Amino acid sequence: MNKPFKEKVQQVDIPALGLRNYWYPAIARWRLGSRPKAVTLLGEKIVLFRDDGKVYALADRCSHRGAPLSMGKCLYRGSGTLSCPYHGWTFDGGTGKLVAKLMEGGESPLPARAAVKSYPIHEHAGFIWLFVGDMNPVPFPTDLPECIADDSKWFSISNWRTYKCNWRLVMDNLAHDQHAPFLHRESPELLFQPIFKHATRNSTELLEDGTGIGHHATHGVHVTHYEGLGPFPPPQEAWYRKLKPSGRGKDMDSTSAANAKFGLKFRHMNMLPSIALIGRPSGNFFTCRLVTPIDEETTILYNFNLFRRRGSIIALLNSLKWVFWSSWAHDWLFSDQDKVVVERIRPGPELLSKTDVGLTAWRWFMARNARRAEPEALSSEVVPQIVEH
Amino acid sequence: MNKPFKEKVQQVDIPALGLRNYWYPAIARWRLGSRPKAVTLLGEKIVLFRDDGKVYALADRCSHRGAPLSMGKCLYRGSGTLSCPYHGWTFDGGTGKLVAKLMEGGESPLPARAAVKSYPIHEHAGFIWLFVGDMNPVPFPTDLPECIADDSKWFSISNWRTYKCNWRLVMDNLAHDQHAPFLHRESPELLFQPIFKHATRNSTELLEDGTGIGHHATHGVHVTHYEGLGPFPPPQEAWYRKLKPSGRGKDMDSTSAANAKFGLKFRHMNMLPSIALIGRPSGNFFTCRLVTPIDEETTILYNFNLFRRRGSIIALLNSLKWVFWSSWAHDWLFSDQDKVVVERIRPGPELLSKTDVGLTAWRWFMARNARRAEPEALSSEVVPQIVEH
Amino acid sequence: MNKPFKEKVQQVDIPALGLRNYWYPAIARWRLGSRPKAVTLLGEKIVLFRDDGKVYALADRCSHRGAPLSMGKCLYRGSGTLSCPYHGWTFDGGTGKLVAKLMEGGESPLPARAAVKSYPIHEHAGFIWLFVGDMNPVPFPTDLPECIADDSKWFSISNWRTYKCNWRLVMDNLAHDQHAPFLHRESPELLFQPIFKHATRNSTELLEDGTGIGHHATHGVHVTHYEGLGPFPPPQEAWYRKLKPSGRGKDMDSTSAANAKFGLKFRHMNMLPSIALIGRPSGNFFTCRLVTPIDEETTILYNFNLFRRRGSIIALLNSLKWVFWSSWAHDWLFSDQDKVVVERIRPGPELLSKTDVGLTAWRWFMARNARRAEPEALSSEVVPQIVEH
């Protein structure tokens, strides 16, 4: 079914400022207080403000003389408007329309072309989400995986990190490229267990609903041998890996609870626009990572730890484990091993290999299926598998 | 007399490095000591030095190998020369001519093309002024308003602030664009009086001598009403504005002392190259602000508080009021409200409006009448009035 | 023999990133410990690492996905290999060849095109030297003067300084351009002796072996006179110059020990790629300065103080003098007088003069004789002497 192909997608073929026409998290709800707040998403400068409990988002540049609206104020509470700090041009938060020029009196004309761009907004899972693009918004939470979209069944503990590099490098890192057994082998979280299985045979499949791809990795081993060098992991690292011989739980296969009970076929999936969804065979925990382009040299990685709601006792235990263990062992130490490398990658020619089957498939999927202002039918082809030497 | 017109001048049509062939303040006199000093004006690197009480200004790059002359010394006091720090090429401060190559002996040829550019200099009102341009200098103080030019009748207290933005944004801010009633309404200086009159009908006239334009604003009110929003100033800001119902003195009209006694017709004028002159109806106080381009992203705003000489008692009272009140209430707090906005403006398309009549007229005047190396007759046309929606 | 000519070489005609295909010092040996180290030379990012006592240098970008190899480790000590931190691609330090993909097992193909550039290395005189270029390396120490190349006869005390400017400006400073009598006249090292002889007649000759040029300066004087100015040094600097009337030793001529005993004809020589060699008439001390391009705006100046081995007592005295005197009086204070000027030079048109005969000849020599990937015969012409006004 999955044949090698040669239609390689280079990093530079993916838009440097991100895939448009998707919902992205913009800021944690608690960080937006009573004052307007400037954010940047996909290179666009945006002002968020809250009035009468509702949140609004407008382009952060007054159409009059270019002052940042984020330095302005909500002078008329309850009206959902924001006034520019410079001459008081006042815009409706919902539509972006100019509703008053406060220096000119009530009779002054309010031309339609004075409107600023307004952004569709949704508050969900502790964040304010914006639809950034050039078309009518798709309903929220289209595109989000069920485990984060449906908070009646799941709850989340989330955090975020700013990467000083282009989003494509962060996305590549999350496309199942087999870096984990190497880069993270000395992470405290994994130190006293065998190295992740590696030297796998990888393949990729379309998710059944066409929203992304899922990754398979089979035939992996805990130790490999290299002529002239010796075994990997190298001898000096081997002894302390034997304290927990079972490693990090079982593989995910058709007998796993995730698969058998919940129909979740993959341990690692990628979904548009820039989501990595990585789960446990139990089907009760997923980490959902949203790679959010800020500008060409800045990315915010939102990390949602998602727990299936299974009663308050289990929720309490899940939360305690996160607070006392995963928050620092995984979300901080483990993830920062990626961060220090990814931020220092020097873009240029690549030589993609067996480990990059997932990466290559995911780039191909993004390039082919990303939503466009002129929507196309989603591809129903199988995902091509690049195996290349 | 003043008809609407469509000949709009965009910000980008005004030179980014300033209008050439004018006198600009370069530095306060007290800041130039016995060592040469590097300054930048209109993008040009200049070295100032003082010898035997006289000040000189040369291009700050040695014609030999490019070292900055501002790192050199006046080795021969009284000769009005400056020597390059690298190989001792020595230049005459008045003409820029090379007068010695100190490493080569007195017989060494001194080619005329080795001269560096020299700048005409004038010391006045506590500052060193330079003529920056490409033609013979006009006599100082051509272009300066009488209140700063004639220090037998006026004295000044001055200061300056560095803006991290292009000079055009600072100039726009001083072209009577009606931002004051909005942006400064919460300035401590104005807090306990009604908001400046706004919703005015604005118009602009040529100054009688053709050196600039004067602004009229009539029919202004202290309160305006906006459908769906309410009154401006908004209710929560209204109560503390009633403590001084008269506001900031009277309007300036034909009965004002400024007009009747001194023939000063305008409260707010703009003059070439980049001057805003704002006065009181009494005719005894003007603030003259000189917007001085440094480089494309830096501007120094020189602020002269000008008091008509009316005896030493009044001069003392004027000075005391400035020290204990205006220096911080106006020159610092009030002006910095402009600074924080102006520095953050994002240049781009504008949508000029009724409030921008003065700005538009002033851009038009600059574009049309700015001095050129090949001088043209000053325009005698009336100033076009842009009213646009 | 030496006729004026007009074939001027401009600064911009010399490569901004340095002359390729030469050996350059990369780092002091003691600074490379057990962890890989990133350096930059001639704009190339390079990783150095040490394994089993041997040093290796590779291009610091993994051919797989672009991660910096300098963040990796030597996992297999004794194999001379370095592994990328991201997916464990492992490269041979000597050849740059890919020898393992640690995530893919021992059977994975290792394509030849996956090799990264490797740099020839030599350890000498306390430094690690790299051959940076596009051709097979010339044997070390080709190009180095005998006094630094032959450490059986000479020993060295060395240091280095980072200049924040292009290497050409530092090189110009070391091409015998007569700046010393002027720029360094107030150096503590020279304060109580007459100013260096200046107003010299300069000329330049090819070194006999064709490896560089040597500078002559004759007819110099300690005082010059300038009409309208007075004498140089200026009167206020003259009195304290008379405490050591003999100045800095004798001139170097055919009777000097350097010449008579050792055949060293020049006090100041320049050699490819970017060497200045300045010695004493005794022939027992040379300072060799290597101008090493890092990137377009950074240069490291390596400074070797070279002493002829004449027994351990003299070596001890030489060393003590350097520690207690030359290290700060010359290598620090004297050289920093150059540094502050050179870093502030504004590149642009030059007006080369009598003082620049050496500079002009040296640029001409570099442009004509620098090694190229396609080697040409070295020029045997005499060095043209530019005298220009």
Domains of chain B (ranges, CATH numbers): 22-132 (2.102.10.10), 146-369 (3.90.380.10)
A179 min Cα distance to partner chain C (Å): 5
Interface probe with C: pick from A170, A179, A227, A338, most Cβ of C within 10 Å: A179
The Cα angle at residue C387 between residues C383 and C389, in degrees rounded to 5: 155
In contact, B101 and C353? CB cutoff 8 Å: yes
E strand segments, chain B: 22-28, 37-41, 44-51, 54-59, 81-83, 89-92, 98-101, 121-124, 127-132, 154-163, 201-206, 212-218, 224-226, 230-232, 268-271, 275-279, 285-295, 298-308
**Nearest chain B residue (CA) to C228:** B79
C336 min Cα distance to partner chain B (Å): 13
Cβ separation of C178 and B87 shorter than 8 Å? yes
pLDDT value at position A383?
63
Cβ-nearest to C199 among B45, B75, B103: B103
Positions of chain C with pLDDT lower than 50, given as ranges: 1-6, 377-380, 387-389
Main-chain dihedrals φ then ψ at residue A13, nearest 5 degrees: -80, -10
Cβ separation of A71 and B226 shorter than 8 Å? no
Element (H, E) at B342: helix B335-342
* pLDDT band at residue B11 under the 50/70/90 scheme: confident
Q: Give the integer Cα–Cα distance in Å for C209 and C265.
A: 12
Cβ-nearest to C109 among A349, A352, A389: A389
pLDDT value at position B1?
31
Look up tokens 């290497």; give the residue. Answer: C167
Residue A185's closest CA among C73, B288, B9?
A: C73
Q: Where are the alpha helices (DSSP H) in A73-223?
A: 146-149, 167-173, 180-183
The pLDDT of B129-155, averaged and rounded, is 95
pLDDT value at position A378?
46
Positions of chain A with pLDDT lower than 50, given as ranges: 1-6, 377-380, 388-389
**Nearest chain C residue (CA) to B75:** C234
- Using a CB–CB cutoff of 8 Å, tell me whether B347 touches chain A: yes
pLDDT value at position A150?
95
Interface probe with C: pick from B65, B84, B92, B113, most Cβ of C within 10 Å: B65
Strand partners, B277: B269, B288
Task: Name the token pair of C100.
Answer: 């393992």
Task: Name the token pair of B239.
Answer: 């109560």
- Using a CB–CB cutoff of 8 Å, tell me whether B235 touches chain A: no
**Nearest chain C residue (CA) to B74:** C234
Burial of A356 (0-12, 13-18, 19+ CB in 10 A): buried
- Using a CB–CB cutoff of 8 Å, tell me whether B59 touches chain C: no
Contacts of C353 in chain B (CB under 8 A): 64, 101, 104, 108
Task: Name the token pair of A226.
Answer: 């290299």
Cβ separation of C68 and A355 shorter than 8 Å? no
- Using a CB–CB cutoff of 8 Å, tell me whether C44 touches chain A: no
The answer to whether the bond into C141 is cis (omega within 30° of 0) is yes
Q: Give the integer Cα–Cα distance in Å for C5 and A363.
A: 61
pLDDT digit string (tens) for B156-188?
A: 999 999 999 999 999 999 999 999 999 999 888
In contact, B354 and A104? CB cutoff 8 Å: yes
Contacts of B79 in chain C (CB under 8 A): 228-229
Cβ-nearest to B230 among A76, A86, A105: A76
How far is CA A112 from each of CA A109, A348, B207, rounded to the nearest angstrom? 9, 45, 37
Q: Is C261 helix (H, G, I), strand (E, B) or coil?
A: helix
- Using a CB–CB cutoff of 8 Å, tell me whether A100 touches chain B: yes
pLDDT digit string (tens) for C251-273?
A: 777 888 998 898 889 999 999 99
What chains are in contact with A, requiring at least 3 Cβ pairs below 8 Å? B, C
Cβ-nearest to A226 among C65, C100, C111: C100
Q: Give the integer Cα–Cα distance in Å for B242 and B222.
A: 11
Strand partners, C28: C127
**Nearest chain B residue (CA) to C234:** B75
Cβ separation of B355 and A99 shorter than 8 Å? no
- Using a CB–CB cutoff of 8 Å, tell me whether A92 touches chain B: no
Contacts of A88 in chain B (CB under 8 A): 182, 232
- Using a CB–CB cutoff of 8 Å, tell me whether A102 touches chain B: yes
The identity of residue B113, as a single letter, is R
Contacts of C103 in chain A (CB under 8 A): 178-179, 181-182, 198-199, 355
Q: Give the integer Cα–Cα distance in Å for A163 and A166.
A: 8
Cβ-nearest to A67 among B341, B351, B355: B341
- Using a CB–CB cutoff of 8 Å, tell me whether A215 touches chain B: no
Task: Name the token pair of A295.
Answer: 């500008």
Task: Name the token pair of B27.
Answer: 């530095």
Interface probe with B: pick from C182, C339, C345, most Cβ of B within 10 Å: C182
Q: Which residues make Cβ contacts (< 8 Å) with residue C78, sequence separation at least 6?
A: C51, C52
Main-chain dihedrals φ then ψ at residue B180, nearest 5 degrees: -60, -45
Task: Name the token pair of A111.
Answer: 């031309």
Q: Give the integer Cα–Cα distance in Å for C221 and B238.
A: 83
Q: Which residues make Cβ contacts (< 8 Å) with residue A142, sequence separation at least 6?
A: A23
- Using a CB–CB cutoff of 8 Å, tell me whether A94 touches chain B: no
In contact, C133 and C21? CB cutoff 8 Å: yes
Contacts of C351 in chain B (CB under 8 A): 63-64, 111, 113-114
pLDDT digit string (tens) for B331-373?
A: 999 999 999 999 999 999 999 998 899 999 999 999 999 998 6
The pLDDT of B226-234, averaged and rounded, is 94
**Nearest chain C residue (CA) to B115:** C351
A178 min Cα distance to partner chain C (Å): 7
Cβ separation of C347 and B66 shorter than 8 Å? yes
Task: State yes or no: pLDDT of B308 exceeds 60.
Answer: yes
Cβ separation of A183 and C87 shorter than 8 Å? yes
What letter does residue C29 receive in the DSSP assignment? G
Cβ-nearest to C65 among A182, A340, A350: A350
Task: State yes or no: pLDDT of B3 exceeds 50.
Answer: no
Main-chain dihedrals φ then ψ at residue C179, nearest 5 degrees: -75, -20
Task: Name the token pair of B313.
Answer: 């008692």
- Using a CB–CB cutoff of 8 Å, tell me whether C67 touches chain A: yes
Task: Name the token pair of B350.
Answer: 């504008």
Size of interface B-C (CB pairs under 8 A): 101
pLDDT value at position C11?
83
Percent of chain C with pLDDT over 70: 92
- Classify the C-alpha dihedral C108-C111-C112-C114 as positive or negative: negative
- Using a CB–CB cutoff of 8 Å, tell me whether A177 touches chain C: yes
**Nearest chain B residue (CA) to A107:** B226
Q: Give the integer Cα–Cα distance in Å for C298 and C343.
A: 10
Cβ separation of B226 and A67 shorter than 8 Å? no
Cβ separation of C234 and B81 shorter than 8 Å? no
The upper half-sphere exposure of residue C207, i.e. CA atoms within 13 Å in the direction of its Cβ, equals: 22
pLDDT value at position A385?
61
What chains are in contact with C, requiring at least 3 Cβ pairs below 8 Å? A, B
**Nearest chain A residue (CA) to B198:** A103
Residue A107's closest CA among B222, B224, B355, B220?
A: B224
pLDDT value at position C273?
97
Strand partners, B303: B159, B289
Look up tokens 């200061």; give the residue. Answer: B159
Strand partners, B218: B201
Main-chain dihedrals φ then ψ at residue B297, nearest 5 degrees: -120, 15
A115 min Cα distance to partner chain B (Å): 11
What chains are in contact with B, requiring at least 3 Cβ pairs below 8 Å? A, C
Residues 245-264 of A with CB under 8 A from C: none
**Nearest chain B residue (CA) to A88:** B182
Strand partners, C92: C81
In contact, B91 and B78? CB cutoff 8 Å: no
Q: Give the integer Cα–Cα distance in Å for B273 and B130.
A: 13
Main-chain dihedrals φ then ψ at residue B365, nearest 5 degrees: -65, -45
The identity of residue B99, as a single letter, is V
3-state SS of chain C: helix, strand, coil percent to 5? 25, 30, 50
